[in-house]
Amino acid sequence: MGRIFAILLMALTTTAHAQTAPSASDIAGYDGLHRAAYEGDIKTVRRLAADGVDLNIRDDSGRTAAHIAAFGSNDEVLRVLAEAGADLNALENRAYDVLTIAAVADDPDLVALAITLGNRPDLVTSVYDGTALIAAAHLGHHEVVRRLIAGGAPLDHVNNLGWTALMEAVVLGDGGPDHIATVRALVEAGADISIPDRDGVTPLQHARMRGYGTIADIISQVSSN
């Protein structure tokens, strides 16, 4: 269990800092497309796109205007950028795309929009080589999880911690209603409940060890069928 604890501690202590929205100093330095994306200025975004500005120009943290729009939940700006040819699958310096930013923000509508606009739900993102689905499952963002599943997100991707979305929902979850709903969504969609962590412990075993009775019951119903 020592290795599991070390991995768990690393995940919990770094996740909060893994995604970084533009700081006040970043914003103060924005002009042009980044400024328009931040302010939700659709008219200026359209004008700059028509003028041939580089839609994928990056700030010092590797954020494109699409990333800025995602951090600000500026759906229509994102739509205009994508329709003009912006790359929604671009990764900023911390390896996040628009979709994972929206997933972490618990923004189901932006998640669905990003997928519709061409953001790939199977994209490997973050320093953990995960996916938007894993990020959402970790946080118990169950409606986002359902939107990602509907959009074709891979259910059983294993990140560099050795965890799937289902595993993260159990190991990093609190066993409460949001994570229960997340586990239910993943299991009902057909997530593989047998994939263990690097120590051979399955999601069901983790749920039982943590006293997450409802989650254990959801997983057990599949294993007994």
pTM here is 0.91
CA distances 210 to 168, 174, 176, 213, 215, Å, are 13, 9, 12, 8, 10
pLDDT at 204: 98
> CB neighbours of 193 closer than 8 A, spacing ≥ 6?
166, 187, 202, 203, 204, 219, 222, 223
Please give the Cα distance from 182 to 223 (Å, whole number): 18
Q: Mark 70-103 as b/e (b = at least 16 C-beta within 10 Å).
A: bbbebbebbbbbbeeebbbebbbebbbbbbbbbb
Q: Is the pLDDT of residue 3 over 90?
A: no
Q: Mark 145-169 as b/e (b = at least 16 C-beta within 10 Å).
A: bbbbbebebbbbbbbebebbbbbbb
Please give the Cα distance from 81 to 85 (Å, whole number): 6
- Domains of the chain by start residue, with CATH: 2-11+26-223 (1.25.40.20)
Condensed to tens digits (0 to 9), the pLDDT of residues 124-147 reads: 999 999 999 999 999 999 999 999
Residue 41 tokens read as: 């200025």
Q: Using CA atoms in the order 111, 112, 116, 120, what is the torsion angle rounded to 10 degrees? A: 40
Residue 11 tokens read as: 């995940």
Condensed to tens digits (0 to 9), the pLDDT of residues 100-116 reads: 999 999 999 999 999 99
pLDDT at 5: 46
